[in-house]
């Protein structure tokens, strides 16, 4: 346990190695997640974060410029789930089955979301922070929505061309309906993730919805 000893009755924490310093940075971000979820972003002070991590504000101000900088670092530890969702859509074997591609992309997104760190950070973004500093969670949500909707539109258009979409359903409307469903599921599950698995329930709902949208052969 290097660098830990007493000096004049006061506990002195000496310099850490680079690896140790990086670890304390992660510890601080973990502690910030905890406090943000429990008390909200605005109502947790940097001192609360430092204490919960077993340190003082000195550590926080060394690793981060201020609270907004720490918040930004916390966000950058996770990638947005819908990017993964879009990634999974790039499967060449699904070119002839666009609705199946949408289904698998949703499943991929759900499974990413169930990882604790992803879930916690997105819960903070959606439910535990107001507009804060240079970070506007609403515009971030809007970006996610637009990305999702445009990707969905692309695949629903393919489905329409392949005559796999019900004739009464145009691709735009299909994409909007699906995007609203995904957003609703997302918000709902983040509010009470301990009650059910978004992977299981989401898969079931998305599956039946896609079946409703599909042109019966």
Site track 147-186 with DNA (rule: CB under 7 A), x = hit: ----------------------------------------
Interface positions with a second copy (CB under 8 A): 39-43, 127-132, 137-138, 141-142, 145, 166, 168-169, 173, 176-177, 179-188, 191-192, 201, 204-205, 208-209, 211-213
Q: Find which of DNA, a second copy, none residue 48 binds, CB within 5 to 8 Å per kind.
A: DNA
CB contact at 8 A, 126 and 37: no
What kind and span of H or E run contains 10?
strand 10-13
Candidates 197, 33, 41, 204; CA nearest to 113 is 197
Q: Find which of DNA, a second copy, none residue 2 binds, CB within 5 to 8 Å per kind.
A: DNA
Smaller CB distance to DNA: residue 3 or 184?
Answer: 3
Phi, psi of 78, deg, nearest 5: -125, 150
Structure tokens at 193: 């993730």
Integer angstrom CA distances of residue 181 from 49, 50, 74, 150, 210: 36, 39, 28, 15, 11
Q: Find which of a second copy, DNA, none residue 142 binds, CB within 5 to 8 Å per kind.
A: a second copy
Site track 18-57 with DNA (rule: CB under 7 A), x = hit: xxxx--xx-------------------xxxx-x----xxx
List beta partners, residue 214.
165
Stretch of residues binding DNA (CB under 7 A), selected from 17-25, 86-94, 112-120, 199-207: 17-25
The torsion region of residue 196 among left (phi > 0), alpha (psi -120 to 50) and beta comes to beta
């Amino acid at each position: 346990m290097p660098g830990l000893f007493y000096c004049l009755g006061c506990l002195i924490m000496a310099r850490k190695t680079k690896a140790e310093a990086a670890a304390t940075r992660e510890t601080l971000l973990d502690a910030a997640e905890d406090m943000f979820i429990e008390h909200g972003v605005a109502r947790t002070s940097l001192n609360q974060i430092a204490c919960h991590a077993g340190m003082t504000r000195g550590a926080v101000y060394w690793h981060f410029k201020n609270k907004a900088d720490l918040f930004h670092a916390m966000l950058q530890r996770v990638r947005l789930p819908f990017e993964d969702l879009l990634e999974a859509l790039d499967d060449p074997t699904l070119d002839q089955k666009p609705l199946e591609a949408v289904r698998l992309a949703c499943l991929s997104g759900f499974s990413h979301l169930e990882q604790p760190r992803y879930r916690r950070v997105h819960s903070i973004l959606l439910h535990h922070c107001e507009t804060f500093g240079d970070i506007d969670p609403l515009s971030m949500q809007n970006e996610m929505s637009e990305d999702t909707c445009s990707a969905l539109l692309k695949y629903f258009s393919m489905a329409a061309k392949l005559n796999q979409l019900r004739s009464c359903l145009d691709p735009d409307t299909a994409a909007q309906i699906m995007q609203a469903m995904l957003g609703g599921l997302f918000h709902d599950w983040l509010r009470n993730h301990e009650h059910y698995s978004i992977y299981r329930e989401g898969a079931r709902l998305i599956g039946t919805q896609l079946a409703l949208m599909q042109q019966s052969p």
